[in-house]
């Protein structure tokens, strides 16, 4: 992932990191990447690893790589909660891990700066010895998703961010600028602390910055779900124009999970409502796969990722072991 994000800095664009749990999501995302010629980050949470019984996510991602050799694909652990969890993901073949040291191992209780730096540094030392990228986080987001979140918002301090990067050696840093996990993010258009992005990017321009909780929660997806029996409350996500503004200021990795869930759920509800006699899972899961593809394709264009897959030759983990050792 380090190479994908470093190249994004050079090209001044953003790269989506899309959460995956099953084959249909991975196929929809990589189809969009292939058609738009976009590098892509497939990311799996601890919940996804558990849901897929660990080994399945490894081989689903390997199948995507085999089917799309021309697309740079990173497999990233989202919100790792300990060194042991990150070791487990690396053993499964993940090429990148996030250690969320902003929270204790329960993924709910905020840590101190020193606690965060200590666990993050331990993961960096282990992962870099194997050529694996590490993302850290400083500050906490609102909301809770997949069991992760304190429910408290603590915005990132730019000066602390610089100190944190120097202490830990992380390859990418997730900032808290007012975004939120989950579908129920905001009741109105959010006001995000874009100045934090600019301040950190100015101080450490070589470090890719990350936006978590960046699903846009499109109203049309909410409407489809509710039109076919759903009962989602009105909510707002992060507008695409806000994400594009963040990319211009220095964000390179944009995490998207909720939008994929909404797209799949709406497609399945609609398919079953319109085909009440259908019982073949390939029918409704096929519709869900198509919905993910359409959603992600639009984001790859909006984030500026499209067209950059052929800009560079992917570097192997073995080569990165040598780079990190310098």
For 36-61, write each residue's pLDDT tens digit: 999 999 999 999 999 999 899 999 99
Contact 32, 64 (CB under 8 A): no
245-289 pLDDT, tens digit per residue, is 999 999 999 999 999 999 999 999 999 999 999 999 999 999 999
pLDDT value for 142: 58
149-180 pLDDT, tens digit per residue, is 546 678 999 999 999 999 999 999 999 998 76
Domains of the chain with bracketed CATH: 2-320 (3.20.20.70)
pLDDT value for 150: 47
**Of 6, 78, 171, 257, which residue is the catalytic one?**
78
CA distances from 123 to 6, 126, 127, 296 (A): 20, 5, 6, 30
How far is it, in rounded angstroms, from Cα 118 to Cα 124? Answer: 10
How far is it, in rounded angstroms, from Cα 267 to Cα 299? Answer: 18
14-27 pLDDT, tens digit per residue, is 999 999 999 999 99
Name the pTM for this structure.
0.93
Residue 146, pLDDT above cutoff 80: no
Q: Does 78 participate in catalysis according to the annotation?
A: yes
Looking only at the bridges linking them, the beta strands covering 133-138 and 40-45 are unpaired
Contact 26, 71 (CB under 8 A): no
228-243 pLDDT, tens digit per residue, is 999 998 888 899 999 9
pLDDT, averaged across the chain: 93
197-229 pLDDT, tens digit per residue, is 999 999 999 999 999 988 899 999 999 999 999
């Amino acid at each position: 992932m380090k190479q994908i994000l470093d190249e994004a800095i050079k090209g001044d664009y953003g790269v989506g990191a899309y959460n995956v749990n099953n084959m249909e999501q991975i196929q929809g995302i990589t189809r969009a990447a292939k058609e738009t010629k976009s590098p892509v980050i497939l990311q799996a949470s601890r919940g996804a690893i558990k849901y897929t019984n660990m080994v399945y996510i490894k081989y689903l991602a390997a199948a995507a790589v085999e089917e799309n050799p021309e697309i740079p694909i990173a497999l990233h652990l989202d919100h790792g909660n300990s060194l042991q969890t990150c070791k487990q993901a690396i053993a499964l073949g993940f090429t990148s891990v996030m250690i969320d040291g902003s929270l204790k191992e329960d993924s709910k209780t905020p840590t101190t700066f020193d606690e965060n730096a200590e666990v993050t540094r331990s993961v960096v030392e282990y992962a870099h010895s194997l050529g694996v990228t590490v993302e850290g986080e400083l500050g906490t987001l609102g909301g809770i998703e997949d069991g992760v979140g304190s429910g408290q918002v603590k915005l990132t301090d730019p000066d602390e961010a610089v100190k944190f990067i120097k202490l830990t050696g992380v390859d990418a840093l997730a900032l808290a600028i007012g975004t939120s996990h989950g579908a129920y993010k905001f009741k109105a258009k959010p006001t995000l602390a874009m100045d934090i992005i600019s301040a950190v990017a100015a101080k450490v321009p070589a470090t890719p910055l990350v936006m978590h909780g960046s699903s846009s929660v499109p109203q049309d997806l909410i409407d489809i779900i509710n039109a076919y029996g759903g009962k989602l409350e009105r909510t707002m996500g992060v507008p695409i124009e806000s994400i594009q503004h963040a990319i211009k200021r220095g964000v390179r990795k944009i995490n998207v999970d909720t939008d994929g869930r909404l797209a799949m759920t709406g497609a399945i509800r609609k398919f079953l409502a319109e085909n009440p006699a259908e019982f073949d899972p390939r029918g409704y899961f096929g519709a869900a796969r198509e919905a993910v593809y359409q959603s992600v394709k639009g984001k790859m264009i909006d984030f500026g990722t499209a067209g950059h897959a052929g800009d560079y030759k992917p570097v192997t983990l073995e080569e990165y072991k040598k780079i990190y050792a310098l």
